[in-house]
Amino acid sequence: MNNHPRATAIQESPNGNDVPVAVLVDCDNVPPEILPYALRMAAQFGRVALRRGYGNHATLANRWQEALVRLAFTPHLQYQYASGKNTADIALALDALEAMFDHRAETFCLVTSDSDFAYLCRKLRERGARVCIVGEAKTPEALRNASDQFFEWSPAEADAEAASDSAEKSPAKKEPTTKRKSAKAEQGKEAPKEAVKEPPKESSKSTTKHRPRFVVEAVSLLVSESSEGRVGLGPLGQYLKRTDPAFAPKNYGHSGLLDMVKTYDLLELHKEAGGNWTVGLADVKAG
């Protein structure tokens, strides 16, 4: 008799296309800047179905509120019944076990550096669940070794993300539109005939193609666990959508994901025998 039927299901989904993932955050133990990184790591295993943040009133009502709201996490407020007692940890552990038994999640991403969760990790894995930990450099070996995979986050990661965020999202903001409107209004006063003829031609040709850095990072992450060192264009698109539901190649001036990947010097496309496209990291040769 198989007491752990879900272990087989996990093994049969190496790309994690439909595997439900739970991201459970110990808000009392880690900073809110860790959340975007944690979601990117969790998305490679499947669809993030549960997003929950656990903490006391002082934590959730202050620095964590904006991050939880922005990234669509459900806050779980736990009052301390006595000083020095962390009820949030117990709530997180119970919810994780409940989600596993209810089959609402098969992969668990615990965002914490607290070694108290090592036993929870072992129990989840004994039942056939996959467990990954996203924590800081201070994370003890006991917790790292209790998981299937550990992802170390550092404040430098948040700084790099904030810097690239503005550069990557700027193409989606149609700033030139307002400038064109004001320019069009001025031209309309002086030369109305030219203003009617010229803008349509210019707007159709003025689309700039952008190459956001996160696409290369996504490929690098997905191929790291692949023996072939490649990932299908379909799974890549699914991952990008899971990390950012608003992602669309058209926002960056491309007709599709294939057209977008072709513009990257750091990526290499291959057309397989069946006609499907795969992408990997290009070999950078020193000149």
Identify the pLDDT of residue 42: 96
State the pLDDT at residue 152.
95
Residue 287: count of CB within 10 angstroms of its CB: 3
Instruction: Give CA–CA dist 162/167, Å, rounded.
Output: 9
- Asked if residue 112 and residue 230 are part of one domain, the reply reads no
User: Is 189 part of any domain?
Assistant: no
Q: Which amino acid type is present at position 157?
A: E
Beta-carbon contacts of residue 111 (< 8 Å; ≥ 6 apart) = 23, 24, 25, 26, 30, 34, 35, 38, 133, 134, 135
Same domain assignment for residues 28 and 150: yes
What's the rounded Cα separation, in Å, for the pair 174 and 165? 16
148 phi and psi angles, rounded to 5 deg:
-75, -35
Strands annotated E in the chain = 20-26, 47-55, 74-77, 107-111, 130-135, 149-152, 231-232, 267-271, 277-281
pTM listed for this prediction: 0.71
Percentages helix, strand, coil for the chain (3-state, rounded to 5) are: 50, 15, 35
Domain housing 224: 213-281
User: What is the reported pLDDT for 43?
Assistant: 94
Burial of 72 (0-12, 13-18, 19+ CB in 10 A): exposed
Q: Can you give the pLDDT at residue 164?
A: 56
How high is the pLDDT of residue 245?
Answer: 81
Whether residue 127 is found in the same domain as residue 218: no
Longest dimension (CA), the chain: 85
pLDDT for res 1: 41
| pLDDT given for residue 264 in this prediction | 93
204 vs 97, 117, 171, 199, 201, CA distance in Å? 54, 55, 16, 9, 6
Q: 145 and 229: one domain?
A: no
**Same domain for 154 and 25?**
yes
Residue 198 lies in a domain: no
Query: Do 157 and 220 have their domain in common?
Result: no
In a domain, 32, yes or no: yes
- Whether 169 maps to a domain, the answer reads no
Q: What per-residue confidence (pLDDT) applies to 272?
A: 86
Domain count, the chain: 2
Residue 95 lies in a domain: yes
- Strands 277-281 and 267-271: what pairing? antiparallel
Whether 147 is covered by a domain: the verdict is yes
What is the Cα–Cα distance from 277 to 234, expressed in whole angstroms? 8
pLDDT, position 187: 53
User: Beta strands 277-281 and 231-232: pairing type?
Assistant: antiparallel
pLDDT for position 202: 45
Cα angle 76-80-84, degrees, rounded to a multiple of 5: 125
Instruction: Kindly report each contact of residues 41-44 with a partner whose C-beta sits within 8 Å and lies 24 or more positions away, as own/partner.
Output: 41/109, 41/132, 41/134, 41/151, 41/221, 42/107, 42/109, 42/132, 42/134, 43/239, 43/242, 43/243, 44/16, 44/221, 44/222, 44/225, 44/239
Is residue 174 assigned to a domain? no
pLDDT at position 204 is 44
User: Residue 250 maps to which CATH number?
Assistant: 3.30.420.610
Can you list the residues of the chain whose pLDDT is less than 70?
Answer: 1-17, 84-85, 158-207, 284-287
Q: What whole-number distance in Å separates Cα of residue 240 and Cα of residue 256?
A: 13
